[in-house]
């Protein structure tokens, strides 16, 4: 975090990244002194409502964040920044986006939790668009011109007012990660997996294990009649996230059911002091760790890995077979995970795998004519995951026959058109056959 004093003094001349959060109500003109070098500008958590007309003087800008401000319209001057590819205006009050306000170079657009009622037709000119986060708005449709965004891979339209899922959307050749829960058309599955309700007073919180967009995870002791037991508790924040409503995540987590690669649920919380919802889960052994890391600014939609990460061909086969089996299990119940990524999976040294994070999950009717394509979209996400893992293959094994076969399968799972991809049942048959032959 930088300070306004540093900016005024000239101390920041030459920097590429600037972050200021100090109650700004006007755009500081001193920022223009950084125009020769500035590539990333983060003015989130201020009180800004407009940008200067000559904002385009910041000609080298690639990334801007104006989250948690007071904008009611996406500034048209953004279009004058020809290098701008990542735009974040989460949690403002934006109702409108003027035609041609978006730079055509836009790859990553974040407009979560605003008041958008319509997108401009000109968004179809953004042919490089890969990720769009629109959860928590008032949208009822997408402009058909978005069918021109053939590089679009991730789309979040959860928690809006859509009355139908656009059919053309499911034909986009690269769409892989889709979330659409919490809309008027969204399929409401009847609760089939009853979970016991457990009083909050039966738990002693020991420590916080992690924090996600939708909630915090704690390690706790559960004092009950069968003896004391260490568990994990996820307490939902109750706010709209980049993926959608926390209550949709809660239902998806419950209805996901039982599978060897899913974390076992033990119950749900009742009588939380702040009336929050929560899930009690088996505590994952500390020997498990994240399979991958989230995408970076550079990779945009694709996962990253810790330096030095390496997998053998058999480890990759074991991991992807477990994830493929879990995906088949979910889709058999009409549940799309929506975030099938390495960073949402855990493994241990034996390559045992656990899948997590149902924040982007969406239910769909298995009898819906679009059901097959919904699954085939997630098959592409699975292919991307396999492709990402293969980039980390042990160099000694890169020419093995097993690796070549996985490469061939991956191409099939990511192929165009969407309708030519197999379903997870066929994917799993081939993976299990490979496993039996190894």
Please check whether residue 319 is in contact with residue 291, taking contact to mean a CB–CB distance below 8 angstroms.
yes
Instruction: Write out pLDDT tens, residues 384-434.
Output: 999 999 999 999 998 899 999 999 999 999 999 999 999 999 999 999 998
Angle of helix 371-390 versus helix 313-331 axis, rounded to 10: 160
* Number of helices followed by number of strands (H, E) in the chain: 6, 19
- Give residues with Cβ within 8 angstroms of 141, minimum separation 6: 162, 163, 166
Please check whether residue 139 is in contact with residue 159, taking contact to mean a CB–CB distance below 8 angstroms.
no
| Cis status of the peptide bond prior to 7, with omega within 30 of 0 | no
What separation in angstroms does the CA of 257 have from each of 114, 212, 252, 253, 367?
A: 33, 22, 9, 8, 20
Fold of 289-437: Transferase(Phosphotransferase); domain 1 (1.10.510)
322: confidence class by pLDDT, cuts 50, 70, 90: very high
Checking if the pLDDT of 355 tops 90, the result is: yes
Please check whether residue 140 is in contact with residue 164, taking contact to mean a CB–CB distance below 8 angstroms.
no
> What count of residues does the chain have?
438
- For residue 197, what is the enclosing H or E element? strand 197-199
In the chain, domain spans: 1-186, 197-282, 289-437
Residue 419's pLDDT is 96
Angle, alpha carbons 104-106-112 (nearest 5°) = 130
Instruction: Write out pLDDT tens, residues 13-64.
Output: 999 999 999 999 999 999 999 999 999 999 999 999 999 999 999 999 999 9
Look at phi and psi of residue 371 and say left if phi exceeds 0, alpha if psi is from -120 to 50, else beta: alpha
Stated pTM of the model: 0.95
Residue 187's pLDDT is 84
Question: Across-strand partners of 177?
Answer: 154
Instruction: Write out pLDDT tens, residues 235-294.
Output: 998 788 889 998 899 999 999 999 999 999 999 999 999 999 899 999 999 999 999 999
Percentage with pLDDT > 70 across the chain: 100
Instruction: Write out pLDDT tens, residues 363-377.
Output: 999 999 999 999 999
Going 246 to 335 to 357 to 207, the CA torsion angle's sign is positive
Residue 310's pLDDT is 96
Please check whether residue 1 is in contact with residue 19, taking contact to mean a CB–CB distance below 8 angstroms.
yes
Q: What is the mean pLDDT of the chain?
A: 95
Closest alpha carbon to 412 in 391, 427, 434, 432? 427
| 94-122: average pLDDT | 97
Angle of helix 371-390 versus helix 424-437 axis, rounded to 10: 40
* Mean pLDDT lowest among 128-137, 226-235, 416-425: 226-235
Residue 424's pLDDT is 98
What separation in angstroms does the CA of 210 have from each of 69, 232, 244?
A: 27, 10, 19
HSE-CB for 416 with a 13 A CA cutoff: 8
CATH class entry, domain 197-282: alpha beta
Residue 31's pLDDT is 96
3-state secondary structure of 204: strand
Q: Do domains 1-186 and 197-282 have the same CATH topology?
A: no
Angle, alpha carbons 301-407-173 (nearest 5°) = 45
Tell whether domain 1-186 is in CATH 3.40.630.10.
no
Checking if the pLDDT of 150 tops 90, the result is: yes
């Amino acid at each position: 975090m930088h300070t306004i004093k540093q900016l005024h003094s000239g101390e920041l001349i030459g920097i590429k990244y600037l972050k200021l959060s100090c109650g700004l109500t006007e755009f500081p003109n001193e920022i223009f002194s950084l125009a020769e070098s500035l590539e990333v500008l983060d003015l989130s958590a201020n009180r800004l409502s407009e940008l200067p007309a000559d904002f385009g003087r910041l000609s080298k800008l690639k990334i801007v964040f104006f989250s948690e401000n007071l904008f009611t319209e996406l500034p048209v001057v953004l279009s004058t920044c020809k290098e701008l590819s990542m735009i974040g205006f989460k949690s403002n009050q934006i109702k409108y986006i003027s035609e041609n306000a978006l730079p055509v170079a836009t790859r990553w657009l974040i407009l979560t939790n605003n008041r958008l009622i319509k997108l401009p037709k000109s968004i179809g000119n953004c042919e490089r668009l890969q990720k769009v986060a629109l959860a928590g708005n008032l949208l009822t449709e997408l402009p058909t011109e978005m069918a021109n965004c053939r590089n679009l891979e991730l789309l979040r339209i959860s928690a809006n007012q859509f009355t139908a899922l656009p059919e053309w959307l499911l034909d986009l050749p690269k769409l892989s990660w889709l979330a659409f829960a919490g809309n008027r058309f969204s399929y409401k599955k009847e609760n089939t997996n009853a979970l016991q309700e457990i009083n909050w007073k039966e738990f002693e919180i020991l420590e916080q294990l992690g924090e996600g967009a939708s909630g915090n995870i704690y390690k706790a002791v559960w004092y009950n009649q069968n003896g004391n037991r260490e568990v994990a508790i996820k307490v939902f924040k109750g706010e709209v996230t980049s993926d959608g409503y926390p209550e949709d995540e809660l239902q998806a987590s419950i209805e996901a059911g039982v599978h060897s690669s899913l974390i076992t649920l033990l119950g749900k919380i009742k009588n939380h002091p702040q009336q929050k919802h929560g899930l009690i889960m088996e505590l994952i052994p500390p020997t498990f760790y994240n399979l991958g890391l989230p995408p970076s600014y550079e990779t945009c939609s694709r996962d990253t890995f810790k330096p030095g990460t390496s997998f053998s061909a058999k480890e990759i086969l074991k991991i992807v077979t477990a994830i493929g089996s879990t995906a088949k299990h979910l889709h058999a119940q009409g549940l799309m995970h929506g975030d099938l990524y390495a960073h949402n999976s855990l493994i241990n040294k034996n390559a045992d795998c656990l899948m997590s994070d149902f924040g982007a999950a969406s239910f769909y009717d298995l009898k819906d004519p679009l059901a097959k394509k919904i699954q085939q979209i997630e098959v592409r996400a699975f292919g991307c995951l396999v492709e990402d893992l293969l980039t980390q293959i042990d160099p000694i094994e890169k020419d093995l026959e097993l690796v070549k076969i996985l490469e061939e399968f991956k191409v099939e799972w990511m192929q165009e058109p969407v309708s030519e991809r197999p379903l997870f049942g066929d994917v799993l048959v081939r993976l299990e056959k490979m496993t039996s032959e190894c």
